[in-house]
Amino acid sequence: MADAPDRRKFLKVATCALGGGAGLVIAAPVIKLVLDPAGKQTVSSPKEPLDVGDVAGFRKGQPPTRVEIIAPVLQDAWTTARDVVLGAAWIRRTGAHPKEIEARSAICPHLGCAVGWDDAKGNYLCPCHDSRFGADGAKLSGPSERGLDSLPVEIVDGRLKLTWVQYKLGRSTSEPV
């Protein structure tokens, strides 16, 4: 009978160890699933330039053309989507040479509203807070802290390629997200 307390103590410790081990086996994958994406970039955005059309379609002297920017593939931590609209850009030819072309984000740098072209005044207008931007994207009036953000473009084999960049809102300088 003297061994009974030691035996009970051993059985308690063994039961707790087995239960704790079984709990770890069950909890470890759940903890990894929850914490794994925390240190990673979970949404991928295309880094390579996207084809937005034939450069001949953009002529000098015409108003800017609004073009939707579509990613062929967009992945996050769980899914893959095809042909996802990332946003829009305003594209205009600034000179006679095909390389004289510029693209501006169609997202207002103030609060992210969609910017349109006002044909009557010949400038860009954000309808949310009445910010206006010149044809070159420079801020003319309104609460926006800066002009429209420039987007990198290049011409490859007569095709206009645009690199989509999202910028932080509400700042006086263009900083990528």
- Mean pLDDT over 72-97 rounds to 84
User: CATH number of the domain at 50-162, please?
Assistant: 2.102.10.10
User: pLDDT band at residue 95, thresholds of 50, 70 and 90?
Assistant: confident
Given a cut of 60, is residue 171 above it in pLDDT?
yes
| Residue with token string 């010949």 | 122
pTM: 0.72
User: What gap in Å lies between CA 46 and CA 91, rounded to an integer?
Assistant: 19
Given pLDDT bands bounded at 50, 70 and 90, which one contains residue 45? low
Calpha distance 125→110 (Å, rounded): 12
Q: What is the pLDDT of residues 29-43, one digit of tens each?
A: 888 877 776 666 555
Over the stretch 113-128, which tens digit does the pLDDT of each residue have? 999 999 999 999 999 9
Distance CA 52, CA 54 (A): 7
Sign of the CA dihedral 143, 146, 152, 155?
A: positive
| pLDDT over 90, % of the chain | 43
Does the structure show a pLDDT above 70 at 173? yes
What average pLDDT does the chain have? 87
Domain boundaries, the chain: 4-39, 50-162
How high is the pLDDT of residue 144?
92
Under DSSP, the state recorded for 134 is -
pLDDT (average), residues 129-156: 92
Read off the pLDDT band of 89 (50, 70, 90). Answer: very high
In this predicted structure, the answer to whether residue 1 has a pLDDT above a threshold of 60 is no
Residue 148: CA count within 13 A, CB half-sphere: 30
Strands 65-75 and 80-93 come out as antiparallel
